[in-house]
Amino acid sequence: MPELPEVEVTRRSFAKAIEAASIRSIRLGKPLRWPIGCEPDQLVGRRVASVGRRGKYLLLELDQGWLLLHLGMSGSLRFSRHLPAAGAHDHFDLVTTRGTLRLNDPRRFGAVVYVPTLASPLAEKLLGKLGVEPLSDQFEPEVFYQGLRRRSAAIKQVLLAGDLVVGVGNIYASESLFLAGIRPTTLADRLSRRRVQRLHGAIGQVLTRAIEQGGSTLRDFSSADGTNGHFQLEAMVYGRAGLPCHACGTPIRLIRQGQRSSFYCPVCQKT
């Protein structure tokens, strides 16, 4: 599933290229997670002002309204002046004067939704409960610590929930916890202020490095210009069950938490 680094890498790979483009047409394929929310022809002629991101949502600001895009479990975007004919898994084409933005999503858990403003009820429903951005100044260590003190669940589950800090998905939660020396099963409210500060720094470090490396390409992720990510080659624990820890040589363990795989080193992450 594309996580925050993959979504941010995708955004950067086409944001400048599509900026100021006018919409010529929209093609819809098979239904996605939610309906688009307007007649596609209503968007023809509108201009793309900018491309932002909130958590795992891409926010295409138009001169009138917004398009919210989510890549779901298996989605990816392409942006080019010369795309081939749409295939069976190509479910949305935004044809502009600067090229076509296409959403490919084999499992169709992704979404493209139009909202008139980011204060509209639908936008609030999708974005309003998201936690702070982990790479922003609003992600403060003390606020993070106080938030964790109110959570009695396992720290890995709290990170994945996204209502305290957004976008720290399965790969990067596992890597951040390893870097901080915290086991994924440790209860969030049991973490000391010092350990939370280490985790706070680890989250920023891991996500920043992942973006620098173009995200993680585990199956078929690539950015909107077709570039694969390479962070998976640097993973310390994720996807390495049974292999020796890069730090101490102990075999990495795999457990299941809430239907998600968690990887950790039993020595480097004692508690």
For residue 99, what is the enclosing H or E element? strand 99-104
Strand pairing class (111-115; 253-257): unpaired
Q: Which fold has domain 4-127?
A: N-terminal domain of MutM-like DNA repair proteins (3.20.190)
The whole-number pLDDT of residue 228 equals 84
The whole-number pLDDT of residue 220 equals 66
Whether residue 193 contacts residue 199, with contact meaning beta carbons closer than 8 Å, is answered with: no
User: Class assignment of domain 141-264?
Assistant: mainly alpha
Task: Specify the pTM.
Answer: 0.94
If you average pLDDT over residues 37-60, what whole number do you get?
97
**What is the pLDDT confidence band of residue 229, given thresholds at 50, 70 and 90?**
confident
**What is the pLDDT confidence band of residue 126, given thresholds at 50, 70 and 90?**
very high
The whole-number pLDDT of residue 73 equals 87
Whether residue 113 contacts residue 31, with contact meaning beta carbons closer than 8 Å, is answered with: no
Structure confidence by residue, pLDDT tens digits, 51-61? 999 999 999 99
Average pLDDT of every residue of the chain? 95
| Domain residue spans of the chain | 4-127, 141-264
The whole-number pLDDT of residue 224 equals 83
Rounded to 10 degrees, what is the CA torsion of 109, 110, 112, 118? 100
Tell whether the model's pLDDT for residue 223 goes beyond 90: no
Structure confidence by residue, pLDDT tens digits, 143-192? 999 999 999 999 999 999 999 999 999 999 999 999 999 999 999 999 99
Determine the distance from the C-alpha atom of residue 179 to the mean position of all C-alpha atoms in its chain, rounded to a whole number: 20
If you average pLDDT over residues 122-138, what whole number do you get?
96
Please give the Cα distance from 90 to 106 (Å, whole number).
Answer: 8
Give the residue numbers marked as catalytic.
2-3, 56, 260
